[in-house]
Structure 1
Protein backbone atom coordinates (compact mmCIF):
# COMPACT_ATOMS: atom_id res chain seq x y z
CA UNK A 1 0.00 0.00 0.00
CA UNK A 2 1.68 3.19 -1.22
CA UNK A 3 1.93 6.49 0.66
CA UNK A 4 0.06 8.25 -2.15
CA UNK A 5 -2.85 5.83 -1.84
CA UNK A 6 -3.00 6.41 1.92
CA UNK A 7 -3.05 10.16 1.37
CA UNK A 8 -5.89 9.97 -1.16
CA UNK A 9 -8.01 7.50 0.85
CA UNK A 10 -7.43 8.27 4.54
CA UNK A 11 -10.71 6.89 5.96
CA UNK A 12 -10.77 3.44 4.26
CA UNK A 13 -7.08 2.98 4.97
CA UNK A 14 -7.52 3.90 8.61
CA UNK A 15 -10.33 1.38 8.94
CA UNK A 16 -8.20 -1.26 7.22
CA UNK A 17 -5.28 -0.67 9.56
CA UNK A 18 -7.59 -0.66 12.57
CA UNK A 19 -8.99 -4.01 11.45
CA UNK A 20 -5.51 -5.46 11.22
CA UNK A 21 -4.70 -4.24 14.72
CA UNK A 22 -7.92 -5.71 16.15
CA UNK A 23 -7.32 -9.07 14.49
CA UNK A 24 -3.73 -9.06 15.65
CA UNK A 25 -4.77 -8.31 19.22
CA UNK A 26 -7.35 -11.12 19.13
CA UNK A 27 -4.76 -13.59 17.84
CA UNK A 28 -2.37 -12.50 20.59
CA UNK A 29 -5.01 -13.07 23.29
CA UNK A 30 -5.81 -16.54 21.92
CA UNK A 31 -2.13 -17.48 21.71
CA UNK A 32 -1.58 -16.25 25.28
CA UNK A 33 -4.55 -18.29 26.55
CA UNK A 34 -3.33 -21.42 24.75
CA UNK A 35 0.18 -21.02 26.14
CA UNK A 36 -1.19 -20.50 29.66
CA UNK A 37 -3.20 -23.75 29.49
CA UNK A 38 -0.15 -25.60 28.18
CA UNK A 39 1.97 -24.34 31.06
CA UNK A 40 -0.74 -25.15 33.61
CA UNK A 41 -1.03 -28.70 32.23
CA UNK A 42 2.74 -29.06 32.45
CA UNK A 43 2.74 -27.85 36.06
CA UNK A 44 -0.05 -30.28 36.92
CA UNK A 45 1.88 -33.23 35.50
CA UNK A 46 4.90 -32.24 37.57
CA UNK A 47 2.68 -32.15 40.67
CA UNK A 48 1.39 -35.65 39.91
CA UNK A 49 4.97 -36.84 39.48
CA UNK A 50 6.46 -35.53 42.73
CA UNK A 51 3.48 -34.42 44.88
CA UNK A 52 4.90 -30.90 45.12
CA UNK A 53 3.35 -27.54 44.27
CA UNK A 54 4.45 -26.21 40.88
CA UNK A 55 3.59 -22.77 39.52
CA UNK A 56 2.80 -22.70 35.80
CA UNK A 57 5.12 -19.71 35.33
CA UNK A 58 7.63 -18.14 37.68
CA UNK A 59 5.63 -15.03 38.61
CA UNK A 60 2.27 -16.83 38.96
CA UNK A 61 0.44 -16.34 42.26
CA UNK A 62 -1.46 -19.61 41.84
CA UNK A 63 -0.89 -23.25 40.91
CA UNK A 64 -3.01 -26.23 39.80
CA UNK A 65 -4.61 -28.25 42.61
CA UNK A 66 -6.91 -30.59 40.67
CA UNK A 67 -8.25 -31.60 37.29
CA UNK A 68 -12.04 -31.47 36.93
CA UNK A 69 -13.81 -33.48 34.22
CA UNK A 70 -17.41 -33.08 33.13
CA UNK A 71 -19.03 -36.39 32.24
CA UNK A 72 -21.88 -36.95 29.82
CA UNK A 73 -25.15 -38.44 31.00
CA UNK A 74 -26.32 -41.73 29.55
CA UNK A 75 -29.56 -43.65 29.96
CA UNK A 76 -27.85 -46.59 31.65
CA UNK A 77 -25.98 -46.03 34.89
CA UNK A 78 -22.30 -46.84 34.79
CA UNK A 79 -19.01 -45.10 34.13
CA UNK A 80 -19.56 -42.42 31.53
CA UNK A 81 -17.10 -40.93 29.11
CA UNK A 82 -15.52 -37.56 29.77
CA UNK A 83 -16.40 -34.66 27.50
CA UNK A 84 -14.09 -31.92 28.75
CA UNK A 85 -11.56 -31.32 31.49
CA UNK A 86 -10.36 -28.13 33.15
CA UNK A 87 -7.51 -27.51 35.57
CA UNK A 88 -8.53 -26.10 38.94
CA UNK A 89 -6.21 -23.44 40.36
CA UNK A 90 -5.59 -22.41 43.96
CA UNK A 91 -7.61 -19.34 44.98
CA UNK A 92 -10.53 -17.57 43.35
CA UNK A 93 -9.18 -14.08 42.69
CA UNK A 94 -9.88 -12.28 39.44
CA UNK A 95 -6.33 -12.95 38.23
CA UNK A 96 -6.70 -16.67 38.90
CA UNK A 97 -10.13 -17.01 37.27
CA UNK A 98 -8.74 -15.52 34.07
CA UNK A 99 -6.74 -18.74 33.59
CA UNK A 100 -9.12 -21.34 35.02
CA UNK A 101 -11.65 -22.16 37.72
CA UNK A 102 -10.38 -21.45 41.22
CA UNK A 103 -10.63 -23.38 44.47
CA UNK A 104 -12.11 -21.19 47.21
CA UNK A 105 -9.46 -21.55 49.92
CA UNK A 106 -11.88 -20.99 52.80
CA UNK A 107 -13.67 -24.22 51.91
CA UNK A 108 -12.55 -27.84 52.11
CA UNK A 109 -9.51 -28.93 50.15
CA UNK A 110 -9.78 -31.30 47.22
CA UNK A 111 -10.96 -34.71 48.46
CA UNK A 112 -11.46 -33.64 52.06
CA UNK A 113 -14.68 -34.17 53.98
CA UNK A 114 -16.56 -30.88 53.84
CA UNK A 115 -17.73 -28.47 51.19
CA UNK A 116 -15.17 -28.05 48.39
CA UNK A 117 -16.12 -24.87 46.52
CA UNK A 118 -14.84 -24.06 43.02
CA UNK A 119 -15.71 -20.87 41.13
CA UNK A 120 -15.26 -20.15 37.44
CA UNK A 121 -16.30 -17.82 34.62
CA UNK A 122 -19.57 -18.63 32.83
CA UNK A 123 -18.24 -17.71 29.37
CA UNK A 124 -15.04 -19.77 29.46
CA UNK A 125 -14.04 -22.62 31.77
CA UNK A 126 -17.45 -23.05 33.44
CA UNK A 127 -19.62 -22.57 30.36
CA UNK A 128 -20.30 -26.33 30.60
CA UNK A 129 -22.33 -25.81 33.77
CA UNK A 130 -25.25 -24.73 31.61
CA UNK A 131 -25.57 -28.32 30.39
CA UNK A 132 -25.04 -30.05 33.75
CA UNK A 133 -28.10 -31.81 35.16
CA UNK A 134 -29.06 -33.72 38.28
CA UNK A 135 -27.57 -37.20 38.10
CA UNK A 136 -24.59 -36.20 35.98
CA UNK A 137 -21.07 -37.08 37.09
CA UNK A 138 -18.10 -34.90 37.90
CA UNK A 139 -14.67 -36.49 38.08
CA UNK A 140 -11.88 -34.87 40.08
CA UNK A 141 -8.24 -35.89 39.87
CA UNK A 142 -6.46 -34.95 43.10
CA UNK A 143 -2.80 -33.98 43.34
CA UNK A 144 -1.89 -37.47 44.61
CA UNK A 145 -3.40 -39.01 41.48
CA UNK A 146 -6.55 -40.26 43.22
CA UNK A 147 -9.70 -40.15 41.10
CA UNK A 148 -12.76 -38.85 42.97
CA UNK A 149 -16.25 -39.23 41.57
CA UNK A 150 -19.10 -36.87 42.44
CA UNK A 151 -22.73 -37.09 41.38
CA UNK A 152 -24.81 -33.94 40.89
CA UNK A 153 -27.71 -33.80 43.35
CA UNK A 154 -28.96 -30.27 42.76
CA UNK A 155 -28.66 -27.18 40.59
CA UNK A 156 -30.03 -23.79 41.60
CA UNK A 157 -29.93 -20.07 40.92
CA UNK A 158 -29.24 -17.71 43.82
CA UNK A 159 -28.45 -14.07 44.42
CA UNK A 160 -24.79 -13.25 44.90
CA UNK A 161 -25.53 -12.20 48.49
CA UNK A 162 -26.75 -15.72 49.34
CA UNK A 163 -23.69 -17.57 50.60
CA UNK A 164 -25.35 -20.51 52.35
CA UNK A 165 -24.25 -22.88 49.58
CA UNK A 166 -20.63 -22.10 50.52
CA UNK A 167 -21.14 -23.08 54.17
CA UNK A 168 -19.11 -25.94 55.68
CA UNK A 169 -20.72 -29.40 55.61
CA UNK A 170 -20.26 -32.75 57.33
CA UNK A 171 -20.33 -34.72 54.08
CA UNK A 172 -17.91 -34.82 51.15
CA UNK A 173 -19.45 -32.46 48.61
CA UNK A 174 -18.41 -30.40 45.62
CA UNK A 175 -20.00 -27.03 44.90
CA UNK A 176 -19.41 -25.33 41.55
CA UNK A 177 -20.32 -21.65 41.15
CA UNK A 178 -20.52 -19.34 38.16
CA UNK A 179 -22.33 -16.13 37.19
CA UNK A 180 -25.84 -16.30 35.74
CA UNK A 181 -27.43 -15.97 33.21
CA UNK A 182 -25.00 -17.68 30.88
CA UNK A 183 -25.93 -15.66 27.79
CA UNK A 184 -25.57 -12.24 29.41
CA UNK A 185 -22.85 -10.30 27.60
CA UNK A 186 -22.39 -7.49 30.10
CA UNK A 187 -20.60 -7.93 33.40
CA UNK A 188 -21.91 -7.28 36.87
CA UNK A 189 -24.28 -10.26 37.07
CA UNK A 190 -26.01 -10.41 40.45
CA UNK A 191 -27.13 -14.03 40.18
CA UNK A 192 -25.13 -17.20 40.57
CA UNK A 193 -25.64 -20.65 39.09
CA UNK A 194 -24.75 -23.36 41.58
CA UNK A 195 -24.12 -27.05 40.99
CA UNK A 196 -24.04 -29.27 44.08
CA UNK A 197 -22.57 -32.77 43.92
CA UNK A 198 -21.86 -35.48 46.49
CA UNK A 199 -18.96 -37.92 46.57
CA UNK A 200 -19.97 -41.41 45.44
CA UNK A 201 -18.21 -44.77 45.23
CA UNK A 202 -20.62 -45.85 42.51
CA UNK A 203 -23.10 -43.73 40.49
CA UNK A 204 -26.72 -44.15 41.47
CA UNK A 205 -29.88 -43.82 39.41
CA UNK A 206 -31.19 -40.34 40.22
Structure 2
Protein backbone atom coordinates (compact mmCIF):
# COMPACT_ATOMS: atom_id res chain seq x y z
CA UNK A 1 0.00 0.00 0.00
CA UNK A 2 1.56 3.35 -1.08
CA UNK A 3 2.23 5.95 1.57
CA UNK A 4 1.20 9.54 1.17
CA UNK A 5 3.61 12.31 2.17
CA UNK A 6 1.80 15.58 2.83
CA UNK A 7 2.81 18.49 0.54
CA UNK A 8 4.01 20.71 3.44
CA UNK A 9 6.50 17.97 4.44
CA UNK A 10 7.74 17.69 0.84
CA UNK A 11 8.05 21.47 0.66
CA UNK A 12 10.07 21.53 3.91
CA UNK A 13 12.40 18.80 2.62
CA UNK A 14 12.84 20.73 -0.63
CA UNK A 15 13.61 23.93 1.26
CA UNK A 16 16.20 22.16 3.40
CA UNK A 17 17.91 20.66 0.35
CA UNK A 18 17.82 24.01 -1.49
CA UNK A 19 19.26 25.79 1.57
CA UNK A 20 22.04 23.22 1.88
CA UNK A 21 22.99 23.69 -1.78
CA UNK A 22 22.83 27.48 -1.47
CA UNK A 23 25.04 27.32 1.64
CA UNK A 24 27.71 25.34 -0.19
CA UNK A 25 27.75 27.82 -3.10
CA UNK A 26 27.79 30.82 -0.75
CA UNK A 27 30.69 29.30 1.20
CA UNK A 28 32.62 28.67 -2.02
CA UNK A 29 32.00 32.24 -3.22
CA UNK A 30 33.11 33.70 0.13
CA UNK A 31 36.23 31.51 0.16
CA UNK A 32 37.22 32.77 -3.29
CA UNK A 33 36.78 36.37 -2.14
CA UNK A 34 38.97 35.68 0.91
CA UNK A 35 41.61 33.96 -1.25
CA UNK A 36 41.71 36.93 -3.65
CA UNK A 37 42.08 39.33 -0.72
CA UNK A 38 44.84 37.23 0.88
CA UNK A 39 46.67 37.01 -2.47
CA UNK A 40 46.50 40.78 -2.98
CA UNK A 41 47.73 41.32 0.60
CA UNK A 42 50.61 38.89 0.02
CA UNK A 43 51.72 40.92 -3.01
CA UNK A 44 51.42 44.18 -1.06
CA UNK A 45 53.27 42.99 2.05
CA UNK A 46 55.74 40.56 0.48
CA UNK A 47 54.86 37.79 2.94
CA UNK A 48 52.39 34.88 2.95
CA UNK A 49 48.90 35.79 4.17
CA UNK A 50 46.43 33.08 5.17
CA UNK A 51 42.90 33.59 3.81
CA UNK A 52 41.38 32.80 7.23
CA UNK A 53 43.05 32.26 10.58
CA UNK A 54 42.67 28.47 10.76
CA UNK A 55 43.77 27.80 7.16
CA UNK A 56 46.65 25.34 6.71
CA UNK A 57 47.60 27.00 3.43
CA UNK A 58 48.00 30.39 1.75
CA UNK A 59 47.90 31.76 -1.80
CA UNK A 60 51.15 31.43 -3.75
CA UNK A 61 50.06 32.38 -7.28
CA UNK A 62 47.25 33.35 -9.63
CA UNK A 63 47.01 31.55 -12.95
CA UNK A 64 45.07 33.00 -15.87
CA UNK A 65 44.17 31.80 -19.33
CA UNK A 66 42.79 34.96 -20.87
CA UNK A 67 41.66 33.37 -24.14
CA UNK A 68 38.96 31.46 -22.26
CA UNK A 69 38.50 33.97 -19.42
CA UNK A 70 39.57 31.60 -16.65
CA UNK A 71 41.71 32.10 -13.57
CA UNK A 72 42.40 30.48 -10.22
CA UNK A 73 44.28 31.25 -7.04
CA UNK A 74 46.89 28.56 -6.36
CA UNK A 75 47.46 27.52 -2.76
CA UNK A 76 50.59 26.17 -1.08
CA UNK A 77 50.49 22.39 -0.83
CA UNK A 78 48.00 19.79 -1.96
CA UNK A 79 46.32 18.81 1.29
CA UNK A 80 42.66 17.90 1.17
CA UNK A 81 41.73 21.22 2.78
CA UNK A 82 43.81 23.22 0.30
CA UNK A 83 42.41 21.41 -2.74
CA UNK A 84 38.87 22.02 -1.50
CA UNK A 85 39.44 25.75 -2.06
CA UNK A 86 41.76 25.86 -5.08
CA UNK A 87 44.53 24.17 -6.98
CA UNK A 88 47.65 23.42 -4.96
CA UNK A 89 51.36 23.81 -5.61
CA UNK A 90 52.88 20.37 -5.16
CA UNK A 91 55.62 20.35 -2.52
CA UNK A 92 59.16 19.70 -3.71
CA UNK A 93 58.47 21.04 -7.20
CA UNK A 94 60.02 24.25 -8.52
CA UNK A 95 58.57 27.70 -7.98
CA UNK A 96 56.98 29.22 -11.07
CA UNK A 97 59.63 31.05 -13.09
CA UNK A 98 62.51 29.04 -11.61
CA UNK A 99 64.46 26.29 -13.34
CA UNK A 100 62.64 22.98 -13.02
CA UNK A 101 59.00 21.99 -13.17
CA UNK A 102 56.37 23.79 -11.09
CA UNK A 103 53.40 21.45 -10.65
CA UNK A 104 49.92 22.68 -9.77
CA UNK A 105 47.17 20.13 -9.18
CA UNK A 106 43.45 20.75 -8.80
CA UNK A 107 40.04 19.11 -9.00
CA UNK A 108 38.63 18.56 -12.50
CA UNK A 109 35.09 19.44 -11.46
CA UNK A 110 35.85 22.74 -9.71
CA UNK A 111 38.94 24.95 -9.92
CA UNK A 112 40.62 23.13 -12.82
CA UNK A 113 37.44 22.52 -14.81
CA UNK A 114 38.71 25.08 -17.32
CA UNK A 115 41.64 22.82 -18.32
CA UNK A 116 39.32 21.00 -20.73
CA UNK A 117 39.14 24.23 -22.76
CA UNK A 118 42.86 25.06 -22.81
CA UNK A 119 44.38 24.39 -26.21
CA UNK A 120 47.99 23.75 -27.20
CA UNK A 121 49.45 27.18 -27.95
CA UNK A 122 47.37 28.99 -25.34
CA UNK A 123 49.15 31.42 -23.06
CA UNK A 124 49.04 30.77 -19.32
CA UNK A 125 49.92 33.82 -17.22
CA UNK A 126 51.12 33.24 -13.67
CA UNK A 127 51.56 35.93 -11.03
CA UNK A 128 53.42 34.81 -7.92
CA UNK A 129 52.61 36.15 -4.47
CA UNK A 130 55.81 38.23 -4.60
CA UNK A 131 54.32 40.12 -7.58
CA UNK A 132 56.56 38.63 -10.27
CA UNK A 133 54.76 37.67 -13.48
CA UNK A 134 55.56 34.83 -15.85
CA UNK A 135 54.10 33.85 -19.19
CA UNK A 136 53.97 30.23 -20.33
CA UNK A 137 52.76 28.64 -23.55
CA UNK A 138 50.92 25.31 -23.41
CA UNK A 139 52.95 22.98 -25.61
CA UNK A 140 51.73 19.46 -24.80
CA UNK A 141 49.06 17.49 -22.99
CA UNK A 142 48.72 13.85 -22.06
CA UNK A 143 46.58 11.42 -20.14
CA UNK A 144 48.77 9.36 -17.80
CA UNK A 145 48.48 7.06 -14.82
CA UNK A 146 48.78 8.89 -11.49
CA UNK A 147 52.00 7.02 -10.74
CA UNK A 148 53.59 7.51 -14.20
CA UNK A 149 53.28 11.21 -14.99
CA UNK A 150 56.36 11.48 -17.21
CA UNK A 151 57.29 14.77 -15.50
CA UNK A 152 61.07 15.28 -15.54
CA UNK A 153 62.05 17.12 -12.34
CA UNK A 154 65.65 17.50 -13.55
CA UNK A 155 64.84 19.69 -16.56
CA UNK A 156 67.04 22.73 -17.08
CA UNK A 157 64.14 24.80 -18.41
CA UNK A 158 61.42 26.63 -16.47
CA UNK A 159 58.30 24.55 -17.00
CA UNK A 160 54.76 24.45 -15.66
CA UNK A 161 52.49 21.44 -15.34
CA UNK A 162 48.79 21.70 -14.54
CA UNK A 163 47.35 18.34 -13.51
CA UNK A 164 43.86 17.09 -12.76
CA UNK A 165 41.89 13.85 -12.72
CA UNK A 166 40.74 12.26 -15.98
CA UNK A 167 38.29 11.94 -17.61
CA UNK A 168 36.81 15.39 -17.07
CA UNK A 169 33.21 14.19 -16.93
CA UNK A 170 33.75 11.16 -14.67
CA UNK A 171 31.61 10.80 -11.56
CA UNK A 172 34.20 8.89 -9.53
CA UNK A 173 37.96 9.21 -9.37
CA UNK A 174 40.19 6.84 -11.24
CA UNK A 175 43.88 6.19 -11.83
CA UNK A 176 44.31 8.54 -14.80
CA UNK A 177 45.41 12.17 -14.78
CA UNK A 178 45.26 14.87 -17.41
CA UNK A 179 48.58 16.71 -17.57
CA UNK A 180 48.97 20.03 -19.39
CA UNK A 181 52.59 21.03 -19.95
CA UNK A 182 53.74 24.59 -20.63
CA UNK A 183 57.10 26.22 -21.21
CA UNK A 184 58.22 29.65 -20.00
CA UNK A 185 58.20 32.23 -22.81
CA UNK A 186 58.48 35.54 -20.88
CA UNK A 187 59.12 36.95 -17.42
CA UNK A 188 58.50 40.46 -16.11
CA UNK A 189 61.59 41.72 -14.35
Query: TM-score, normalising length from structure 2?
Result: 0.92
Query: TM-score, normalising length from structure 1?
Result: 0.85
Q: Distance in 2 between matches of 1:47 and 1:122?
A: 27
Q: Is the Cα contact below 8 Å between 1:107 and 1:166 reproduced in 2? A: no
Q: Does 1:16 align with 2:11?
A: yes
Structure 1: stretches of 5+ with no match in the other structure: 1-8, 73-81
CA apart distance, 1:166: 6.0
- Corresponding residue for residue 180 of structure 1: 166
- Corresponding residue for residue 97 of structure 1: 83
- Bigger Rg over Cα: 1
- Corresponding residue for residue 138 of structure 2: 152
Counting matched residue pairs gives 184
Q: Is the Cα contact below 8 Å between 2:63 and 2:74 reproduced in 1? A: yes
- Corresponding residue for residue 178 of structure 2: 193
**CA-atom RMSD in angstroms:** 1.6
Q: Does 1:43 align with 2:38?
A: yes
Q: Distance in 1 between matches of 2:152 and 2:164?
A: 13
Q: Does 1:139 align with 2:134?
A: no
Structure 2: stretches of 5+ with no match in the other structure: none
State the SS of the aligned residue for 2:186. Answer: coil
Q: Distance in 2 between matches of 1:184 and 1:10?
A: 35
Runs of 4+ in 1 over 6 A off after TM superposition: none
Flag the 1:87–1:13 CA change in 2: closer, same or farther, 3 A.
Answer: same
Q: Distance in 2 between matches of 1:39 and 1:160?
A: 31
- Corresponding residue for residue 147 of structure 2: 161
CA apart distance, 1:71: 2.8
Equivalent position to 1:70, from 45, 65, 72? 65
